[in-house]
């Protein structure tokens, strides 16, 4: 059982990450800093996820008595990175690529404690059934996937009706690999 006395700050506006930390039984506060999510072109998908998580962590001046957790989730299909869509057309294009295919989800996590970063990532392979355009448009109109990497949330209609199977962590696809995070946080117990 994890019983931390060190305050935890989750540096994420993601309601899914906040929900997952709550479900883990952790007390935490949320603090946000704007960070440009750019990265060097030569990085692989897992390296990008960790790079951006570390960039987010570096934006904080840590106090000796706090743990800051940052994360970034990347969706990759056939070597292409699918970020967050800005328009309906971009969401349509991304969901069309995922339709009938498998893809990988990588979440990079950084834990900043007293200026020392511990970073890791997790990988999940996701298999999707084929979608028609009507289903894609329904999903975009009803679930507004504009804040989600790859244009979908595994915890909503898409995950319930489109995802056929996962290889790896479900919570990783939600945006925070809680199983690995828990093991890292035990070191602070």
Tell me the average pLDDT across 15-34. 94
Determine the pLDDT at residue 2.
76
Residue 101: pLDDT band by 50, 70, 90 thresholds? very high
pLDDT of 131 > 80? The answer is yes
The residues annotated with a catalytic role in the active site are: 72
Instruction: Decide: pTM greater than 0.85.
Output: yes
Tell me the C-alpha distance between 123 and 110, whole Å: 15
Query: Topology of 8-188 in CATH?
Result: Maf protein (3.90.950)
Q: Dihedrals φ, ψ of 96, to 5°?
A: -65, -35
Residue 15: pLDDT band by 50, 70, 90 thresholds? very high
Determine the pLDDT at residue 77.
98
Instruction: Name residues whose C-beta falls within 8 Å of residue 10's C-beta, 6 or more positions apart in sequence.
Output: 17, 18, 21, 28, 29, 30, 31, 69
Determine the pLDDT at residue 134.
98
**Token match 């935490």: residue?**
28
pLDDT of 60 > 90? The answer is no
pLDDT of 113 > 80? The answer is yes
Tell me the C-alpha distance between 123 and 133, whole Å: 28
């Amino acid at each position: 059982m994890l019983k931390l006395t060190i305050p935890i700050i989750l540096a994420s506006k993601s309601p899914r990450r906040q929900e997952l930390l709550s479900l883990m039984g952790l007390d935490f506060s949320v603090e946000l800093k704007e960070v440009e999510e750019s990265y060097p072109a030569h990085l692989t998908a897992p390296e990008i996820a960790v790079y951006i998580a570390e960039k987010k962590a570096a934006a904080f001046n840590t106090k000796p008595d706090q743990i800051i957790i940052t994360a970034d989730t990347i969706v990759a299909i056939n070597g292409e990175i699918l970020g967050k869509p800005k328009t309906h057309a971009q969401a349509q294009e991304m969901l069309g690529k995922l339709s009938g295919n498998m893809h990988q989800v990588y979440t990079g996590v950084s834990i900043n404690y007293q200026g020392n970063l511990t970073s890791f990532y997790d990988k999940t392979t996701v298999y999707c059934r084929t979608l028609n355009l009507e289903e894609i448009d329904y999903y975009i109109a009803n679930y507004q996937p504009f804040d989600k990497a790859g244009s979908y949330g595994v915890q909503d209609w898409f995950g319930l009706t489109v995802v056929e199977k996962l290889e790896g962590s479900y919570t990783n696809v939600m945006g925070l690999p809680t199983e690995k995070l828990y093991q890292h946080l035990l070191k602070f117990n």
